[in-house]
Amino acid sequence: MGEPQFERIQSLLLGALLALPLSMGEAHADTLCGREVVSIERLRDDVLGGSRTKKITDTDTSVQFSDDQHRVLWTFLKAAHPAAPAVLCQTPVTKDGKISLSLEAWCGGPKVKCDALIAEFGKHQAELSR
């Protein structure tokens, strides 16, 4: 099996009912929601090192943390998830006086599974905004 295809995926949900399409590009050893991505393990350690970080959910396929200091919701996929390894982060943004969510993802799983993961998150965000 070849090296996983890494993608950096960003989505912006504007307004209460409007979901914009995802823009996708190649990942670089760069940042995700303001934190450096060297590896998912190091990123998770960095997120958990925050004094105002707490676990929100823990399922068979993912674990979510709220970083209240930086206002970021982190979702780390476990090996049982078909898109793993992956991490997603969501941050609130204000545009034209409206609050929306920005979604960034680093996904190293199969492209089809990563695309499905991002579509699922986008759908969930749209449902929450109604």
Residue at 2 is within a domain:
no
- The tally of domains found in the chain comes to 1
Domain that holds residue 82: 7-128
Residue at 55 is within a domain:
yes
Stated pTM of the model: 0.75
DSSP codes of every residue in the chain: --PPPPEEEEEEEETTTEEPPPEEEE--S-EETTEE-S-HHHHHHHHHTSTTEEEEEE-SSEEEEEETTTTEEEEEE-TTSTT-SEEEEEEEEEETTEEEEEEEEEE-S-HHHHHHHHHHHHHHHHHHT-
Nearest to 107 by CA among 82, 83, 73: 83
Residue at 1 is within a domain:
no
Interval 22-77: pLDDT, tens: 333 344 458 999 999 989 999 999 999 988 999 999 999 999 999 999 999 999 99
Residue at 39 is within a domain:
yes
Interval 95-122: pLDDT, tens: 888 888 889 999 999 999 999 999 998 8
